[in-house]
Structure formats: structure tokens, C-alpha cells
Amino acid sequence: MNYPKGIKVTPQKELKKVITYGNRGMSLENDLNITNEFYRDQDRAIIYKKPTPIKISKVNYDTMKITEAFFESPSTTDYNGVYKGRYIDFEAKETDNITSFPLKNIHKHQLLHMRRVLDHQGICFLIVRFNKRHETYLLFAKDLLQFIEGHEQKSIPYTYFQEKAYLLEEQYHPRINYLKVVEEYGGV
């Protein structure tokens, strides 16, 4: 392929290597950040990951360096933004489990937040990657909350994802085209 002069091309192979063998725990997050950047560049949607909530306890005001701080548990989901004027909001999690997704991965506050977003007609969902299956699913909040409200189980069986969630295609760009599912099944 011929590229115009001055455009730096990252070979697909190299990029893939970075993503795959980098910080494994970060890879779904990486994929989503790249996807959201692509959506912004293509002017499809404006969606960002929120910064990690941190409680700052000591700051050196001369250098503005934070010298003591702690991670806080999030009261909302990690991602939000706008798509065709609509509010969009989601959480993303990875699991090494094969047969189920443990609900301890989602805080109670986050579930309450999702319920509220739904009540306010926002588009809300959970993205779950089953690492060992190399599969990533989108489960709408309606189906997530329905499961939680109707079951005592502490995890959602993989079969529930097969039944109710949407398998997200993974490709070069966008890495995880979740807006396609939102467009087709999210009522936009």
C-alpha cells in the first residue's frame, strides 16, 4: 500500500503485539480506549473513560506533586458520553472464569447507577470479556438488572450471555464495534 509522505504507519502486527502482550489486565480497557478514540475521530460518538477516582491526602504545593493518595471505589460506571444526542453509559469487565461472570466484579453503587440511568432513558450496558474464551459480550443493563433482581446467584452463567447478550466482533478498527449493537438493538 502507498501512504502519503509524512504519515507514520504502525504495522498491524506490531500494534497487535503491544495490545496482546502488554498489561493483560488492561487490554479490554485499551481496546475500548482505542475504539472510543476511533469513534471520536470518525465523528460517530463522543465517549470517554472517566478518570479513576482517587482520594488525595497529601500534596506538595510547591511542586504540585501528590505524595499520598488512595484508590476509591467508583460510584458510577467507567465510560460515558453522547451518541446521537442520547446519553450512553457503560461498565467494562474482564474475567478469567470460563463458565460464569462473578458479580463481585460490579459494585452495588454501580448497579444502582445503572438502574438510575435506565430510569432516565439513558442507553446503558455492561461489556464483559471472557479472557480464556477470547469472547467479548455486550449485555444491556435491562437484562443485567433483570438477572440480578430475579436470582440469588453470585455470578451470571456464561449461558445467560449466550442467550441475552450480543457477541462483539473484534477487528482492527474499531477494535470492538459496540455501537453497531447499540444501533441495532439499543433503541437509538
Q: Which residues bind a second copy (CB under 8 A)?
A: 40, 43, 45-46, 48, 50-54, 56, 64-71, 75-76, 80-89, 113, 116-117, 119-122
Q: How far apart are CA 107 and CA 73, in angstroms?
A: 8
Shortest Cβ 52–a second copy spacing (Å): 7
**Measured from the CB atom, is 17 or 109 closer to a second copy?**
109
Shortest Cβ 45–a second copy spacing (Å): 7
Say which residues have a Cβ less than 8 Å from residue 164's Cβ, sequence separation at least 6: 139, 140, 143, 147
Per DSSP bridges, beta strands 86-95 and 123-130 are parallel
Cell representation of residue 51 = 478518570
Other CB atoms within a 10 A radius of the CB of residue 45 amount to: 19
Residue 129: strand, helix, or coil = strand
Shortest Cβ 87–a second copy spacing (Å): 4
Shortest Cβ 177–a second copy spacing (Å): 18
**Measured from the CB atom, is 103 or 118 closer to a second copy?**
118
Question: Residue 50 carries which DSSP code?
Answer: P
**Measured from the CB atom, is 124 or 168 closer to a second copy?**
124
**Measured from the CB atom, is 43 or 149 closer to a second copy?**
43
